[in-house]
Amino acid sequence: MIPLLVSNIGRTPYVDAWRLQQKIWTLRHEDAIQDILLLTEHEHVYTLGKSADDNHLLASQEELKISGTDVFQIDRGGDITYHGPGQIVGYPIIDLNNYYLDIHRYLRSLEEVVIHTLSAFGIMAGREKDMTGVWVNNEKIAAIGVKVSRWVTMHGFALNVNTDLSKFERIIPCGIFHKGVTSMQRVLGREIQFEAVKKVIANSFAEVFNRQIKWIEKDELKSTVQRLIVQSKSEKKVSVVVLNNDEK
């Protein structure tokens, strides 16, 4: 069975995880690194996708400053959403050439990963017609937004575990006016062991995508990524030199 690297990179400012994603995404395009799933928890941030309406951010600049909440316009699909403490965010950076060339199927697979995860904790979850994400009792418990270029993915899903749901009151989540937002904590009436959910997510992802998990520590991952980037740049310089010599 083909391995899937999984790295729990802990709590991160959004921009740090975004930059790490971009580096890995570039390496994956070059087939310099394996498929990988990053698991993280962000500091308070609102992110607006390519189809976002700025009017769906209800908080004022002063309010954002006081609460220490960042705002980023990013390159995933979808509208506006919130990330923050108590929420697990998964970033699969995988080459769909090794699975199937179907973005809609990929989105459904990510939903299935979350549905399987919630089932392991006794939560019955499902889909809503014509809407991307995972729902419990007509309320959204997980948002999904991705970017796919030349069939390599980035961005991913966000599952509300012990999330402060009041943060969603200052946006219109995913541009959906008529439905609420929930969390595992609210559904089960107790705080959930955060790290345990991450492990179940990783196992569910491996099951849905038929891969074998290989955990990699965040420091090892970052040093590996940096080494591969340096190596890639060096190889490109050598290629340029060879081409120049051939031209002479």
List, as one string, the DSSP characters of 19-46: HHHHHHHHHHHTT-S--EEEEEEESSEE
Please identify which of the residues 39, 93, 118, 174 carries the catalytic annotation.
Answer: 174
Tokens of 109: 């697979």
7 contact partners, CB below 8 Å, separation of at least 6: 36, 37, 38, 39, 215, 216, 217, 218, 221
- The secondary structure element, H or E, covering residue 129 is none
Bridging pattern class, strands 126-128 and 45-48: unpaired
Phi, psi of 53 (to 5 degrees): -100, 120
Does 174 qualify as catalytic in the annotation?
Answer: yes
Bridging pattern class, strands 45-48 and 80-83: antiparallel
Rounded Cα–Cα distance for residues 245 and 176 (Å) = 59
Whether residue 146 contacts residue 107, with contact meaning beta carbons closer than 8 Å, is answered with: yes
Rounded Cα–Cα distance for residues 154 and 32 (Å) = 16
CA distance readout (Å), 84 to 44, 68, 106: 4, 11, 25
Whether residue 25 contacts residue 154, with contact meaning beta carbons closer than 8 Å, is answered with: yes
- The residues that are catalytic are 174
